[in-house]
Amino acid sequence: MVENKFETIFTMDTSRIKYGPGVTWEVGFDMRKLGASRVMVVTDPNWTKSEPVSITIEALQEENIEAVLFDQVRVEPTDNSFRDVIKFANEDKFDGFIGVGGGSSMDTAKVANLYSTYPADFLAYVNKPIGQGHPVPGPLKPMIAIPTTAGTGSETTGVAIFDLVTIHAKTGISHRALRPVLGILDPNNTRTVPKIAAASCGFDILCHALESLTAIPYNKRLAPESPELRPPYQGANPISHIWASKAIEMVSKNIIQAVQDPSDDKSRAEMILAATYAGIGFSNAGVHLAHALSYPVAGMVKGYIPEGFKSDFPIIPHGMGVVLTSPAVFRFIAKTNPELHLYAAQLMGFDISGVDKKNAGDIIATEIIKLMQATGIPNGLNAVGFEPSDIEELVKGTLPQHRLTKLSPRPASAEDFKHLLAESMTLW
C-alpha cells in the first residue's frame, strides 16, 4: 500500500435499537431469540432494587432463562472494578450479558463478556499507548444494553471506559465486537435520575453530537494498513453528520425541561432518543478534545461531590467533566470550519442570519454556557475544585488520549491544552 494514502472508506455500524415505554419487558423474548439460557445481569448498587433491574430479571425468568445478578458495578469504573466483574464472569458459565444502568453498567457488562469469552491479560485489549490495543479475536456472546440514564449512548458503542488507578487516567477498550447486539430504550427507566445527573448526562449527549459533528473528516485521516485496523472512531462522515445534527437539535430543545421537571415524560423520552442518535453518530465518527480533557479532570477529582448525587467517593460525573471545557474547545477549533460551527449554533436555536463567521466559536460557546446556567452545572473547573496550579498535571493526563485528541480538526499541542484548561477555570 502506498504510504500516506488518505482514507477513502467509512463504515456505519450500530446496534439494533428497540424503543418505547415498557419495552424492557421484551428483554426475555430478545435474549431467548439470541439463544441464551444463563444470563449475567450487570448493574450498580444504586439500581439493585430498581424497577428496570427487577423487570429485566422477571422478563428473563418468564422465558425460562436463568438470570444471575451482579450489582457491584462502580460508577465511573476502574481497572480494579473491571477485574472484579471479570472474575465473577469467569467463575460461572454465561451465554448472554445484559448491562442495566448508566454507561458504567453497560461498559462493565461489555468487559465481562470480552474477558470471559477471550481471556487475556487485562492490558491486552486496552487502547494504546496505555495498553497493547489488541483487536478482539472474534465475535462475543450476545449482550443487550438497557440504559437508565439518557446520556452515554453506550448502548450503541463498542467502547468501555475506565480509570487506570495507578496513573489516574481514564482510558478504555474500543472495538466493534464490543458493541451490544441490542439497545433497549425505555423512557420509563429514566424517571428517577437526580437533577444534576440528568443535566450532566444531557451535556454528555450534546458534546457527543457537537464533537462528532466537528471531528476531523474521515477522508483527512491516513488510511489504515488493513481493514482490521480501521478504528471505530473514524472521523466525521456524511452518515454520522445526520445523526449528530438531529441529536444537537433534540437536546437543545429538551434539556432544560427534562432537568427541571423529571415528570415531563415527553422531554425525557426525547432525551433518551437523542442519546441514541448522538451515540450512533459518535460511535462511527468519534469525539475529540472536550472528551480527551475530561478524562484527567474526572480522574484527578479532589473532594467534589455534586449536590444531590449519591456517591461515597468524590466524583465529577462524566458529562459534567466534558462540558466544562467545551466552550473553550469550540472557540479553539471553530476557525477550522466556521460555517459548520454556525450550523451547529443554528441547530441549538441561535439565529445565524447576518452574523460574522469570525464569531462562530464565541457564538457556540455562549449557546452552551446558556444551557449550563439554566441546568445548574458548576461555573468551570474552579467550581469543581481545580486551581490553575493543577493545569500541568491535567495536561499530562490529556497527552495519552491520542485516540481522541487526533480527531480534533485543529491539531492541539500540550501548550494548547494548557490554554484550554486555563480558559475553562471560570466560564461566566
Q: Footprint of Zn ion on residues 393-412 (CB under 5 A)? A: none
Residue found under cell 463498542: 158
Q: How far is the CB of 156 from Zn ion (least distance, A)?
A: 12
Find out whether 272 and 148 touch, Cβ atoms under 8 Å.
no
Site string for Zn ion, 145-184 (x = CB under 5 A): ----------------------------------------
Smallest CA-to-CA distance from 381 within 427, 416, 418, 415 is with 427
* Residue 22 Rama label (left phi>0; alpha psi -120 to 50; beta): left
Per DSSP bridges, beta strands 16-19 and 182-185 are parallel
CA atoms within 13 A on the CB side of 117: 20
Pick one of 79, 107, 186, 204: the residue that binds Zn ion (CB under 5 A).
204
Query: Residue 396 is placed in which grid cell?
Result: 499530562
Per DSSP bridges, beta strands 143-147 and 66-70 are unpaired
Closer of 209 and 328 to Zn ion (Cβ): 209
Q: How far is the CB of 421 from Zn ion (least distance, A)?
A: 18
Q: Which stretch binds Zn ion (CB under 5 A): 202-210, 264-272, 306-314, 328-336?
A: 202-210
Closer of 77 and 338 to Zn ion (Cβ): 77
Closer of 107 and 204 to Zn ion (Cβ): 204
Q: How far is the CB of 28 from Zn ion (least distance, A)?
A: 30
- DSSP 8-state class, residue 409: S
Q: How far is the CB of 291 from Zn ion (least distance, A)?
A: 6
Total residues contacting Zn ion by CB under 5 A comes to 1
Q: How far is the CB of 85 from Zn ion (least distance, A)?
A: 21
Q: Which stretch binds Zn ion (CB under 5 A): 55-63, 204-212, 298-306, 338-346?
A: 204-212
Closer of 23 and 285 to Zn ion (Cβ): 285
DSSP code string of 104-154: HHHHHHHHHHHHHHS---GGGSBPTTTS--PPP-S----EEEEESSSS--G
Q: How far is the CB of 201 from Zn ion (least distance, A)?
A: 9
Q: Which residues of 141-152 are buried (b: 16+ CB within 10 A; e: fewer)?
A: bbbbbbbbbbbb
Q: Which stretch binds Zn ion (CB under 5 A): 199-207, 358-366, 401-409, 412-420?
A: 199-207
76 binds Zn ion (CB under 5 A): no
Closer of 86 and 173 to Zn ion (Cβ): 173
Beta bridge partners of 41: 69, 98
Closer of 37 and 78 to Zn ion (Cβ): 78
- DSSP 8-state class, residue 269: H
Q: How far is the CB of 154 from Zn ion (least distance, A)?
A: 9
Q: How far is the CB of 205 from Zn ion (least distance, A)?
A: 8
Q: Which stretch binds Zn ion (CB under 5 A): 80-88, 197-205, 368-376, 413-421?
A: 197-205
Closer of 358 and 402 to Zn ion (Cβ): 402
Residue found under cell 474500543: 174
Q: How far is the CB of 338 from Zn ion (least distance, A)?
A: 25
Burial classification of residue 428, based on how many CB atoms lie within 10 Å of its CB (0-12 exposed, 13-18 middle, 19 or more buried): exposed
CA angle 413, 416, 418 (to 5 degrees): 115
Find out whether 319 and 203 touch, Cβ atoms under 8 Å.
yes
Q: How far is the CB of 322 from Zn ion (least distance, A)?
A: 6
Closer of 41 and 109 to Zn ion (Cβ): 109
Closer of 204 and 367 to Zn ion (Cβ): 204
DSSP code string of 310-333: --SS----HHHHHHHHHHHHHHHH
Q: Which contacts of 336-340 are long-range, i.e. CB under 8 A and separated by 24 or more positions? A: 336/214, 336/409, 336/410, 337/214, 337/409, 340/213, 340/214
Closer of 98 and 207 to Zn ion (Cβ): 207
Residue found under cell 494548557: 418
Taking CB atoms, the residue at the shortest distance from Zn ion is: 204
Positions touching Zn ion (CB under 5 A) are 204
